[in-house]
Amino acid sequence: MTQASSSAASFAQLGIIAPLLNRLTELAYVSPTPVQAATIPAVLAGRDVLAGANTGSGKTAAFAVPLLQQLVEAKTDDKTGAYVRCLVLVPTRELAQQVADSFLSYASHLNGKLKIVAAFGGVSVNAQMQSLRAGADVLVATPGRLLDLLSSNAIKLNRVSALVLDEADRMLSLGFTEELAQVLDALPAKKQTLLFSATFPEEVRELTAKLLNDPLEYQFQSEQESTIHQRVITVNRPMKTALLAHLIKEHQWSQALIFVSAKNTCNHLAQKLSKRGISAEVFHGDKAQGARTRVLDGFKNGEISVLIATDIAARGIDIDKLPVVINFDLPRSPADYMHRIGRSGRAGEAGLAVTLISHEDYHHFGVIEKKNKLKLVREQIVGFEADDEMPAELLEQAKPVAKPEGSGKKKRKQLPPANAEFWGKKS
Ligand code: AMP
């Protein structure tokens, strides 16, 4: 992949037409982000694109704006039946709604010429079938619901001229491989394909090799990551909640997104914070779709200031200028760490990611750092300092840490001291 050049052409210079330009001006998109500067001309030229880009890099507009332009300019009389012209596949319901909303927003000066529909699970299929009855110019869908719609003949995919796979790595890691293969089988061979992924594990590379035709390739992650300041604080496990409450109160962050490892931890932590005078909402996969949407909307519009979530919130969700992401529990995989911290510092804004680690996390966090080529300083907060060794009473209870992806088979016999420099030492 080529590294993106950051030469800043304007949206007009990239060839964007007036109705779309006007909307971008209203949205205060002054100049294209690197992913937009590279992708927009490639899409307008009809090329397949493979881009390594996180959410927060402006990738939705990078594909939505030029695709809307192509759709509105194309001469097509064939708008009969349950046709779909542009299909955007995304891994989660929230992302489906968000991407469809972005399409609708960018298209707002196209005089309603294009029909844009979102289809995702967790809500009744009937309304979605109804809105797809006369077809759609753009369908943004999760793979499972798309297959439901296909099998009930609510849509046909044989006229799709453009396909976008957004967050392809997430789609595959969530286990959508089979569904994806079925959807791809239902698509015409001749189409323009754009694939965006934050990471490129083997299965994504296999997919790109199969799917993309002589693609233009770009890599953007490094610029995105550099806008996030990462802090790592060591603390004895029993003091973690107290430290979290202390940090929230001391810094008075306007909003904070706190990641934990399990659904029930969300609720426990919310109760514990509430006892310390901090009101927090929870967001996880066991909540009904309506509740998930309400919580997310409340967080997006600032009514909720502290949100405790599982990794379901780590991808795709765009919350404007989130000041801080806190890893209360570590994510399982090194890739998820990057996705979590990517919720902060969006579209070039400075962000902050704070990770709280206790003795039992040290080794796992070392692996996360190594895989992500990071080397972060361990901090202590006065009054919450971690002991050098794990306190004896905790050694007993110390549960084995979930093994991160690719962490090998070797077992660490002794935990490293809290703030020791253990990089480069053999474990
Ligand atoms: P995305 O990576 O598509 O989720 O976009 C992240 C955020 O950046 C969204 O809030 C967009 O509205 C915003 N954004 C996208 N492109 C631009 C741009 N060129 N200028 C300013 N903000 C942008």
Topology of domain 2-220 in CATH is: Rossmann fold (3.40.50)
Report the alpha-carbon distance of residue 173 to residue 120 in Å, rounded: 18
Instruction: Kindly state if the Cβ of 60 falls inside 6 Å of ligand 1.
Output: yes
Fold equal for 2-220 and 224-389:
yes
The answer to whether the CB of 345 is under 6 A from ligand 1 is no
347 lines ligand 1 (CB under 6 A): yes
Instruction: Find the mean pLDDT for residues 49-55.
Output: 86
pLDDT tens track for 76-103: 766 777 789 999 999 988 899 999 999 9
Using an 8 Å Cβ cutoff, are 366 and 357 in contact? no
Q: Tell whether the model's pLDDT for residue 302 goes beyond 70.
A: yes
Tell me the CATH number for domain 224-389. Answer: 3.40.50.300
Q: How confident is the model at residue 318 (pLDDT cuts 50, 70, 90)?
A: low
Instruction: Tell me if 281 sits within 8 A of 304, measured CB to CB.
Output: yes
Note the pLDDT of residue 198: 83
Q: Which residues contact 19 (CB under 8 A, 6 or more apart)?
A: 72, 109, 110, 111
> Which of the listed residues 318, 343, 344, 349 should we mutate to test ligand 1's pocket, taking the one with most ligand atoms within 8 A of CB?
318
The pLDDT of residue 297 is above 70: yes
> What pLDDT score was predicted for residue 4?
42
Tell me which residue has its CA closest to atom 11 in ligand 1.
58
Q: How confident is the model over 60-65, as a mean pLDDT?
A: 97
Query: Residue 222 above 80 pLDDT?
Result: no
Q: How far is the CA of 61 from the centre of ligand 1 (A)?
A: 7
Contact present, 53 and 95 (Cβ < 8 Å): no
User: Would you state the pLDDT for residue 295?
Assistant: 87
For the segment 386-410, what is each residue's pLDDT rounded down to a tens digit? 888 776 666 666 555 444 443 444 3
Question: Residue ranges of the domains in the chain?
Answer: 2-220, 224-389
Tens of pLDDT, residue by residue over 244-272, are 999 999 998 889 999 999 888 999 999 99
Q: Give the pLDDT score at 135.
A: 92
Q: Is the CB of 58 under 6 A from ligand 1?
A: yes
For ligand 1, whether the C-beta of 55 sits within 6 Å is: yes
| pTM score | 0.64
pLDDT reading at 20 higher than 50: yes
Residue 186: is its pLDDT beyond 90? yes
pLDDT tens per residue across span 151-173: 999 999 999 999 999 999 888 87
161 close to ligand 1 (CB < 6 Angstrom): no
pLDDT single digits (tens) 112-130: 899 999 999 988 899 999 9
**Alpha helices, DSSP H, located in 89-141:** 93-106, 125-132
Give yes or no for a contact between 60 and 88, defined as CB atoms under 8 angstroms apart: no
The pLDDT-based confidence of 422 (bands split at 50, 70, 90) is: very low
Does residue 232 contact residue 376 with C-beta atoms inside 8 Å? yes
